[in-house]
Amino acid sequence: MQNHSFKSWFLATRPWSFPASAMPVVVAVAYLFWCGYEINWLISLWTLLNVVVFHAAGNTWSDYFDYKRGVDREDTVGGVSITSGEFAAGEIRSLAMVLLAVAVVSGFFLLAFTGMPVLYFGLAGAFFTLLYPWLKYHALGDVDIFLTYSLLPLLGTSYVATGAVRPESLWLSVPIGLITVGILHINNMRDIEHDARAGIKTFAMLAGKRVSAVLYCLEMVLPFVWVCAGIVCGVFPVWVVAVLLALKPAVGNCRSAFSFLSVGSKALVGIDEKTAMLQLMFSLLLSISLLVAALV
């Protein structure tokens, strides 16, 4: 077993993907603040850190199972921590278990300072995190991601931040959830041939390349439509029109998705990371706009 630096362990968790878990918490708090609720900022920060640790555990857990199942090999793009030879499979499995244990212990402390609903949200999150590899292999990974990185964190954050579950926070589930699902979808779209070789079935495989490209573009564009419609309906303040500043990279991602039909998988190299960065940009613009609207 090799000695690894902290940086190597950290990179093995795929930190570029953390906006997918962090941003639902940030946006939910900003939205609830705009709605006029009193926010427990310290507990909200604790929740943010805990969700990211859960996400890191899920990433490494998925990488381990993808390697054992033969999904990730030397010629695949994702999950290179094991296939590159830098880490042994057992090391990544141990890392996943340690991260999950840290998240669970932290979650119990969070439970002690809040209430029983945190336990239910935490158990649901742990369940979908551990079950994710199986669901992904049976074309249900997109559903898992939407639940784990949209519905659950939005409702859970509303509880820990304000002391009660706030259903209105679900207005954020469509824009935040679709972009996050897009991270997985475009990754699976790029890996259609490799996943077929491994004998698994992802939603992108069942949909086919052309339909998958169209669906990905919808996942990139509909969040902007949803927010603009929310402004018209009074669900969001007019300030959130600032999210349109993120439309350019979203369109660029759509172009890459359609280039895949003629160029092949090389057109999608790094596109999952670009989608995660779009989530970061979109969500920060949305959060800052909501905070500004609440303060002016």
Residue 7 forms part of a structural domain: no
49-65 pLDDT, tens digit per residue, is: 999 999 999 899 988 98
Percent of the chain clearing pLDDT 70 (strictly above): 97
Q: Which residues are bridge partners to 201 per DSSP?
A: 138
Q: What is the pTM of this model?
A: 0.91
Model confidence at 197: pLDDT above 80: yes
Position 125 confidence tier, pLDDT thresholds 50, 70, 90? confident
**Is position 275 within any domain?**
yes
Tell me: the pLDDT tens digits for 22-42?
A: 999 999 999 999 999 999 999
Q: Is residue 126 part of a domain?
A: yes
Model pLDDT, residue 83 = 84
Judge whether 8 lies within some domain. Answer: no
Q: Could you tell me what percent of the chain has a pLDDT over 90?
A: 73
* Average pLDDT over every residue of 83-94: 89
Dist CA 221 CA 219 (whole Å): 6
CA separation for the pair 116, 98 (Å, rounded)? 24
**Residue 243 domain-assigned?**
yes
The predicted pLDDT at position 79 comes to 63
CA distance 245 to 80: 33
Q: How far apart are CA 110 and CA 275, in angstroms?
A: 31
Q: Is 222 a domain residue?
A: yes
Domain range holding 149? Answer: 15-295
Q: Please say whether the beta carbons of 181 and 218 come within 8 A.
A: no
Total residue count of the chain as it appears in this document: 296
Q: Report yes or no: 151 and 167 within 8 Å, Cβ to Cβ.
A: no
Cross-strand bridge partners of residue 138: 201
In whole angstroms, what is the distance from residue 15 CA to residue 273 CA? Answer: 10
Q: CA 286, CA 296: separation in Å to the nearest integer?
A: 16
Do the domain assignments include residue 6? no
Model pLDDT for residues 97-122, shown as the tens digit of each residue: 999 999 989 989 999 999 999 999 98
Tens digit of pLDDT for each residue in 255-291?
999 998 888 888 888 898 999 999 999 999 999 999 9
Least confident window among 72-81, 145-154, 185-194, 227-236: 72-81
Number of domains in the chain: 1
Distance (Å, whole) CA 211 – CA 228: 26
What are the residue ranges of helices labelled H in 70-171?
Answer: 80-83, 89-113, 117-137, 141-146, 152-162
Q: What is the pLDDT of residue 218?
A: 97
Q: Does 1 reside within a domain?
A: no
What's the confidence (pLDDT) of residue 177? 95
Residue 213 has pLDDT above 60, yes or no: yes
Q: Is 98 exposed, middle or buried (0-12, 13-18, 19+ CB in 10 A)?
A: middle
Instruction: Give the chain's mean pLDDT.
Output: 92
CB 125 within 8 A of CB 58: no
- Candidates 270, 20, 39; CA nearest to 141 is 20
Is residue 144 within 8 A of residue 124, CB to CB? The reply is no
Spell 251-281 as b/e; 16+ CB within 10 A means b: eebbebbeebeeeeeebbeebbebbbbbbbb
